[in-house]
Every structure is written in C-alpha cells, then in structure tokens.
Structure 1
Amino acid sequence: MMTQFRILYVLLFFTIYTFAQVKEDKSIDDLNVKALKIYPSNSREAIQLLEKAEKIAKSKNLQLSLAYTYNNKGIVTRVIGDYPKAIEYSKKALSLTKDALIVASSQNNIGACQRNMGLYEASLKSFLTALKIYDAKKDFLNQAIINNNLGLVYKSLGVVEKAKSYHQKAIEAYQKINHKKGLSEAYNNLAIVYVEENNLEQALSYFKKSLDFEIQLNDKRGMAESLNNVGGVYYYLEQTDSAFIYFNKALKTEYSIQNFAGLASSYNNIGDVHLYKENYVAAKKCFDSAFYYAKKSKSAFDIENTLNYYALLYEAKNDYKMASEFYKKKGVFHDSIQKLSNVKQLQELETKYQTAKKDTEIAQNRADLAEKELKLKKKNTMIFGSLGFAFVLGLLGYLLYNQQKIKNSQLIKEAELKEALVKIETQNKLQEQRLQISRDLHDNIGSQLTFIISSIDNLKYFDIAKEKLVSKFDDISGFTKNTITELRDTIWAMNKSAISVEDLQIRITNFIDQAKLATQGISFDFSIEKNVNASHEFSSLEGMNIYRIIQEAVNNAIKYANATQIKILLHQEENKMIFSISDNGIGFSETEIELGNGLNNMKKRALELKANLKINTEKGNGTIVTIVKEIG
C-alpha cells in the first residue's frame, strides 16, 4: 500500500482565472476574446492572437487595451507553465492602468503563479488585493474564484481546515450560478482534502465529477489534470492498471497543449507506476523527463516531487548512497522554499484584511442608520407633532436594543476569532518545531555515517577469518540501511506533537542494538529506574534533542575513548529527569583538546532544551555525560 505522503505528490491543482474586459477598440477586444476562448486547448495560437492585439494597441497608443492584452498574455503563459514570464506580463498590465477590474485580474494571475512557485506569502497578498476589489464591486463570481485560490494556498501550507472552508464557500457559490468550470475546480480541490483525510472513495467520486465537467467544457488542460488525479487515487488503491491508463491519457493531453508543469507531473506519475512494478529502467527515464520539464516550468512542487522519486528509485535498487544524496537535495530544496513563506505571517495578514473589512462595514452601517434616523425625526415632527416625540422615543429604544444585539453578536465573533488565533498559534509552534527538527537531519545522518566509517576502520586491527569478516561487513551494511530508516523515523517524529519517555526508550534501545552489531569488544547497558514516569511527554523538539545528545555521547565513547563498557541510565528526582551516559575509557581533558562539532553540538542542543549538561572526565578515568531536564 502506498503511503499518504507519496500520493499527495501525485495530485495536481488548477485555478480558474478572472478576466477583465475593456471596450476601447473592437478589433483588440475581439482578438482578446478569441484568444481566451481557445487558450486552454491551443495556447500557441492564443499567444499569436494576443501579440496581434498588442501591436494594434501600441500603434494606437491605447494604454487600457494594452494593459488588458498584457494581462491576458500573462494568463495564457501561466497556463502553459512559464510562471516568471506570466508574472512579468501581469506586472506590465499593472504599470499601465489603475482600472479596478484589470488590477484585480492581474493580481489574481500573479497570485496563482506565486503559489505554484512556492511563494505563499506573496501569493496570499496578491489574492487578498484582488478579493478586496471584488468585494467592493459585489462581484460574486470572482469572489468565489478568489476564495478557491485562497483555499489552494492554505492547502499548500497544510492548514487543511482553512482550505476546506474556502473550497466549500466556492462550491456553494458556483452551484448558485451553475458555473461548470468553477464547480470542476472546486470539486477537484475538495477531493484533494478528502485524500488528506484518507477518504479515498469520496475523493475518487469528486475527482470523476471534476473530470466530467472538463470533458463537457472540452478543456484539455483541465482534462489532463483531472485524469492525473483520478489515476492518482487508483494508484493509492493499488489498482495500478487503471492508474497507468489514466496517467498515459493525461500525458498525451499535456503534450497536445505543451504544458511543461503538467508534463513533469504526468511523467512522475507514470514513473511511479513503473517503480511500483520494479521496472527501474523505465522509471528512471520517466523521472529524467519529469525533472527536465519541472526545471523548465520552475514549478517548486514538481522539482521537489521528482527529487523524492529519485531517492525512492535508488533506495529500491539498494543504492543507499545515491538515495541519501537525493533525500538531502530534497531537504535542502524544501527548506529553501519554506524560508520564503511563514505560516504565522500569512494568518496574520488575512486576519488584518478581514478586520479592516468588518470595520468598514460597521462604519457604513452606522452612517446609514444615522441618516435614516434624521429623516424619520424630521418627517414625524412635521406630521404628528407631539406624537412624533413619542415615536422617536420608541425608535431610540429600538435602536438601543438593536445596538446591544449587534454588540453581543460582535462579542461572540471576537471570542470565535480569539479561539481561532489560539489554534493558529499552536499550529505555528508545531511548525517551528518541525522546521528545527528538519535542520537536524543532516547532523544525524552525518554522525551515523562517521560511525560506520569508524567501524570499518576498526577491522584493520583484528585478524578475522573470512567468514567472520563477511559477517561483519553484513552487519555494517545493515547499519547503513538503518541510516535511511533513521531519516524516515525523524520525518515521522516531525509529525508528532510530543515524544514520550517510552518513545525515547524504544529509539535508544534500537540505536544500542545496532551499535552492538557494528562494534567488537564493547558491552552496552541501558536501564531506566522504576521511579521514572514512563508516560511523561517531551515536545517533539525536546525529545529529538535528548536523543541526539545521547547518540553523540555514545558515538564519542566508541570512536575516541577505547572503552570496553558503555552505560546509559535514566532516573528521576522529583521534578527533574536525568540521563547519564558513562564509559570506562581513557577520558580526556577539556583544556588540552580543541572542542569539535560533537561536543559543541551537545552543548547547543542542551541550551535549546533549557537543560543542564555536565561532562565529567579526566585522563585514564573514563567519561560521564549527564543531562538534567526540569519537567512540569
């Protein structure tokens, strides 16, 4: 069964784009309209038509028509996967006009390109700028489109509930106006959320609905994406023959419209089927093609996806060195993308926008109420006299009651907002922990590889029979494979909100067992005293730092101490959890050695833990490393 991590990379997203229209020159308008009608299936001809419109607009010095044409070129260029060039065209449009509809359409197109390039903060700003314009004009169709796009940004960030909320709003709006393209997109995006929740049957149903709409519309790009999505769910269900059929149909369709990003995704999907069937040569060819088109389109999603598939391919072929290299490349690339976007800033940006919008609406309502009240007072004074006074008193009473009702409603909304902000803050803390843990991946893998090299070097000092030598190499090979397993374990830990003492016990025990296999003449002992609260939980970052310090101390004892015995003990004293790692080796003097990365890393991790790290050692008398962590 495929893991959920991999299937998400099989799926695609697509976005409906808003269009602005001008009536400055009929020939220019006609060329633009014709281009926008044919561009999904015939992008080249669409670009040619828009270039004709551009020449006419320049020759007549029609700035508004030129801006309109530039933005439409940006939309078509984005659809074929050239995101930087698409942004350039839409920015040209913004530089030529302040027309609200063209500005909104340009910002929406720029936001979609930025999202595909992994620039999530910039993307959210662009979408919110467009939404503000459509809100002011009460343009319900385009409001739905922007809501759908905002859902895509939050989906990319892993904020699933936010994504579902925005996509559901879009579906309801599209149903009211029977907008087939919008419904196709909304069903597609909601299906992806169901994949996140592992509800595959529901996801497959929605993906097929999306595909039906695309076939009705004869939108080849939309058809290709929907075909890939349906194939992805079949693949997850291990119905690989059905998946292969849908992926190949998608590939042919992407070639017909020369969609580079789509070609990258389709090649990855087909290569994954070959990988599943252990046809490694065919899989490698597909991934090479996918990487070529991913780089050509500058699609961050497809580049990272292809690097992941390369690693999986080499791992399946037992080439763990190459697999490790590609995992590292993927990690470096992912970190570079994450630095460009901060979830907390994005959430705050949207909150500011929504708050400003509500303030404007409240101010407008107050102004309207004041105007109505003044008219009523004048009319009642003229007609009813003294009766008008009583009426005014009744009206004022009603207004006070209504204001109190509005105030109560506002207090409820503020409470809901505070609750949402608390949830967002919690998510951001977890995200920060996961980013810090991901930075430790390279350090961990490096230390394990150093340990493997040390074990191999130690073989030179023993006269070992051939059979034992072969067995020893097998042990070291097994430990090398466990290096890859350790990488997966760390990724798993990133998805945990807490690591218990029991979790640490299992991880440390596994590490000790592997160390026993890879060393000779060293005995290991790991024990936990009965008074230790085994159910106590550390944060994921604290748990990983504790484990890394213990791992570093053991590795140092093996490599440098010439020890024959290494002991690890965990005990508890009231509100303190104490880990000690001791050996009977030669010890060292901190004043006589230059502190290396190992000791520096241990001290750095202890500072992050807010724990006390003690290293007691002297030459000839062994070493004791103690970690003292206060617990609540």
Structure 2
Amino acid sequence: MGQVKDNFIKIDSIQRHVLSKPNKDSLTIAIANYTIGELYRYSLVADSAYAYYHKAEKVFKRKNLQYQLAKTFYGIAVIQCNEKDFTGSEVTSIEALSLLDQLKETNDVNECKSFIYNNLGLVFGELEQFNESILYYKKAIELKEKLNGNNKRTLDNSKNNLALSYKKSGQYDLAIASYSQILKDKNLIIERPDFYALVIDNYAHTLYLAKDLTELPDLFLKALKICDSIGANYNSIIINQHLAEYYYDIKNIDSAKYYAHKAKNIAENYHNDELLTSLLLLSKIEEDSLAVLYYNKYIKLNDSLVKNERNVRNKFARIRFETKEIEQKNIQFAREKLWLTIISIILLISALLIYIIITQRSKNNELRFVQKQQEANEEIYNLMLSQQEKIEEARVLEKKNISQELHDGVLGRLFGTRLSLDSLNMAASEEAITTRAKYIQDLKKIEEDIRKVSHELNADFIGGSGFLDIIKTLLDSQTMAYKLNYEFNHDDAINWEDISNKKKIHLYRIIQESLHNIYKHANANYIKIGIRLKNNVILLSITDDGSGFDVNKAKSGIGLKNINSRVNEINGEIRINSKKGEGTTVEIQVPI
C-alpha cells in the first residue's frame, strides 16, 4: 500500500508541475502522460492508466517516435491482459513488436521486446494455449539473458512464468526442473523473500499434482511462514488455497476447511479472482447448505467481476472512439488540404507538360529538317557516285576506241611502210642502205611507243580511285573548316569497284559525322584516318588528340547514335576507346 501511495504523490506532482503549466511542447506533455500511465498501471488503476497512455500514444504516433510508441503499446497490452481482454492484449503486443522490429537492436529495444514476449506468454497461458505461452516465455528469457546490467530479477520472473505454463500444461518434470533452477540461488530468500515464497509454493504444488507428496505439506507451510513474516498477505492467499486442496485430497477435512476459510478471509480484502477461487474451493470442501451458500456467492461474485471487466473494456473502447472522432475530423481537414495540394500540383504539371510538348515539337521539327538534309546529302552523294561511274564507263570506252584505232589503223599503216622500206634495202648504194636503215629504226621506235600507249590506254588504271578521291576531298574541306590537321592512310588492296554503294555511303557519312563530333566535343588539333583491308574486312580507324571522355559514363548523343545506326545497317562492328585527356579512337569493322 505504501508503494501505491507514493505513486499517487508522484502523479500529483507531475500534474501540477508539468501538465498544468502553459507553453509546454507536445513531446514533454506526452512523456508526462506516459509516466502517469505507468504509475497508474503499477497502482492497478486500469482505466486512468489507459487514458493517459492513450494521450501519450497520439503524440508519439504523430511524431513517429517508434520506440516510445512501442513502450506505450506494451503498457496498454499489460492493462488489457490484467482486465482479461486477452485478444486485445495480443493484438496490441504484436503491434508493439512490429514497431520494434523496424529499429536497430539496442539494449533498450531488446529489453522492451523481452517484456512484450513475457506478456504474450501470460496471454496465451490464460487462454490455455500453453505451447504458444512456453514459446514466448523462452523468447523473453533468451533476450533477457543477453541484456546489459543486472537483469536477474526480471529473468527469474520469466523463468517462474515458464515453469507455471509447464505445470498448467501437465509437463510436471520440466516445471520441477525450472523451479529447482530458480531455488538454487541461496540469496533469493534474502533479496526477494516474497518471490522466494511464491516459487516454493509453485514447486510444492507441482509436486502435489505429480503425486509426489514426500516433501508435503512442509514446503507449503515453509512458504506460508515466509509470507506471514514479511506481511505478504496477498501471496499467502494462493498458498492457503493449495494447502486446503492438499488436505482435502488426503481426507483431512478440518485442516482443508481451515486453510480454505483463511484464504477466503484474506481475499475478501481484494475482491478479485482469488476470492472467486476461494469461494469455489469452499463450495467443494463444505457440505450441504454451506456448500450451496458458497457456490451462490461464487456465482454472484463471478457475475460482478465479469460485469466490471466488461465496463472497463467499454471504457477503453469509449476512449478509443472519442479519439477516433477527433482523428476523423483531422483526417477530413487533411484530406481537403491534400486535394488542394493535388489540384495545384496537377495544374503545375499540366503547364510543365504543355511547355515540354511545345519544346519537344520544336525539337522534332528541327530533327526532321536535319534528317531531310541528310537524306538530300545522301541523294546528292549517290548521284555523284552514279555520275562518277558513268564518267568512268565513258573513259574506258573511249580508251578502248583509241586503242583499237591505234592498233588497227596507225600501226597497220606503219607496219606496211616498214615492210616497203625494208624491201628497198636491197639497193646497192651505201648511202641508200644507211638512210633506209635509219628510217626503219625510227619506225620501229614509233611502233613500240604506239603499242605501249595502246596497252596503257586499254588498262583500267583508275579503278577505285574515285571513292578515295571523294573521301580526300571531304577531309580537305572539313579539316580546313574545323581548323584541324590530318593524316589519311589507305590500303590500295581494296577494290572499291566491288564494294556496294550502300557501304561506301555509310562509310563516307561515318567519317563526316566523326569529324563533326571531334570538332564539336573533342577540342582536338590533329586527327588520323586509316582505311585498310584485313581478312576480307574493311578496317576504318579515326583517332584524335582531343580531351577524351569516360566511355562507361558518357551519354550517347545524336551523332554517336547515328554512327551506331549506320554501322548496324552495314552489319559492322564499332569499338570506342577513350580516356580523359588522352584522346579518342573509333574503330569500325565492315565485312565486304
């Protein structure tokens, strides 16, 4: 009773010095409400404890203080368990655990978890779901054994609760072993005599249920003596009940009645479940009218306790309901504010989308213009190549005509003349012979020169030179415009006559696009272009001494995308090597 009085003094102090003062921030008030809720819970004033916990809960939830909220839920769950709202206590405990699972596993978090597991063990024990009860007690013990500091007191409590579930589930050997482990502590009777008496009683009662009566009733009497010596009247109720059961079982009815009445008389001061148990025990031990009297009292008290429990739970529900009404109004205000925000955002997004659409349309028009320009350039280039081919065909034809004319006309006549002069060589004079010999020698030289010219004219010595000339013209014009120095190396082994116009056009455009990219992005002074043939594959390389870039991080612009697209069109492969400050090399392989 002294502890309860101290609690009420603390409550009054907090209400006067914290809650009554203006200008206190909401968190300070919430902590004060939580503390008052704890004090009321320890004082067994359930409805007041619940009300103050609930006030603290709203603030902790609004400020997203998960640890403080979990502790508040634990306090509410304990109250619900005490008031026999076991389902509500289970739900609240699980909600508290879900909050703690989101937090880092600190000592405080694990301690709170262990308390919640212990409460769930109590809940499932009351629901007679002992497997679940034992599981949660073991979880509580496992966590408590890992906590910092001296946790022996709360650890012993959980071990006692575990043993109680073993006892209620009929696992007497496990219960006896658990109680024996607790009783090994020789200091327990000095440090916590009330708890020591409780464990002795539970141990003795387990022996009684296991039909091991060798140490009975001495253990019961030892526990009762300790309680009487320290004034632990409430704990003595259960011990007296157990003694009454024991004596009734061994047919010592007088002693059974004595201890049953003693339990009832003490329990009448508390008017709770222990009084209910005592009345039911007396209805079993007493005879005839007295048995009926006590049973009627049992029924009346049971109805009263059930009604009181229902009233408390209704009070809890009413607190929740009133809070929900306020929360619903706040939600309505928040919803209206949200809709206003959403409409504003939609209008802003709409304006932004319209701007983007207009800008994108302008860019698309510009892109289409560039594409049309590229198509026109390609068409012009195709015409240039076609014209070049026609010119080449005309030149070849003309050479053949000249060759034929030289061979069939001039050479024939010169050959005839030489024969005539040769026939005149039969003249006797020395001078005639010398002159004719000179003319014949001159004619032979002319014949050889004409034959040589004829063969050279007949040879197609310009095959492939046209495309390379076009590339060189492109390089001359572009590098002059871009103020670049260049070096162009090419392999004469490539027969450009056998390469399709499509591939030549794409190669031309790739070089053109690369020059443009180098000018625009590379800040280069010198470029080197190489075209060679290897294993029936054309190898095009373009190297610059520009600023370079990180190939893995760089975004592909339109120029690079166009180059990749052209390479794919001619079934080629492209590889780009570049480092910042070390220039760039583009290597393209095109199969013939």
Given the two structures, how large is their TM-score scaled by the length of structure 2? 0.42
Asked which structure has the greater RCO (Cα within 8 Å, sep 6+), the reply is 1
TM-score using structure 1 length: 0.40
